[in-house]
Amino acid sequence: MMSPLRKHLQSLPEKDRKLIQILAFVLFSSLLWFWNIAPALKTYHEAPLQLTQLEKQTEHLKALQVQALALQKAPRMKVQDAGAVLQQTATDILGNGGKLKLEASRATITLSNVSAETLAQFLAAARNQAMALPIEAKLQKSQSGGAQVWRGTLILNLSPQS
């Protein structure tokens, strides 16, 4: 029992049947390429770049882990000592761009025209030296003399973490 399509193909001249077979092969090959082989080749070519990116991320996370462990093992600092260290750090790094006010176990820093690099340097020093962590930030970015600067307030927690 032959299907009508098969009967029709059998009735065609040999030249037309060969042409249909070639077209079917080209169509099948194209589908195979676009749905199976091309995506696999793309993945194969992109894998080294992705592996390099993942290795960089892993190294960064390991560095953060080492830093976190160092901060956990660091001796706890009294609030008064942390306040003094933070005051010195603010004076050294922020200069006239920051005014520090100590209240119990919190420090409020009012920033005016502080560059992003200076602010990042201060926050890193506050965390590493005074064990002070930001708990609230109300900052605004603005332009001053063609450079981007930050204004606002930061509240840091000085209490020892246990």
CATH number at residue 94: 3.30.70
Residues 50 and 106 grouped into a single domain: no
pTM over 0.85: no
Q: Is residue 128 part of a domain?
A: yes
Domain total in the chain: 2
Residue 51 has a pLDDT of 95
Question: What span, in angstroms and rounded, lies between the C-alpha atoms of 57 and 1?
Answer: 64
**Tokens linked to 54:** 């993942």
Q: What is the pLDDT at residue 22?
A: 94
Identify the domain boundary among 73, 88, 107: 73
Q: Which amino acid is at 82?
A: A
Q: By residue range, what is the domain housing residue 68?
A: 4-73
Residue type, 68: A
Single residue among 73, 98, 133 that ends a domain in this structure: 73
Low-confidence ranges of the chain (pLDDT < 50): 1, 162
When the pLDDT of each residue in the chain is averaged and rounded to a whole number, the result is 89
Tell me what pLDDT residue 162 has: 47
Q: Which of 73, 100, 115 is the last residue of a domain?
A: 73
| Any domain includes 162 | no
Q: Is residue 53, in this structure, part of any structural domain at all?
A: yes
63 within a domain of the structure (yes/no):
yes
pLDDT for the residue 6: 82
Report which of 140, 76, 86 is spatially closest to residue 109, judged by C-alpha positions. Answer: 86
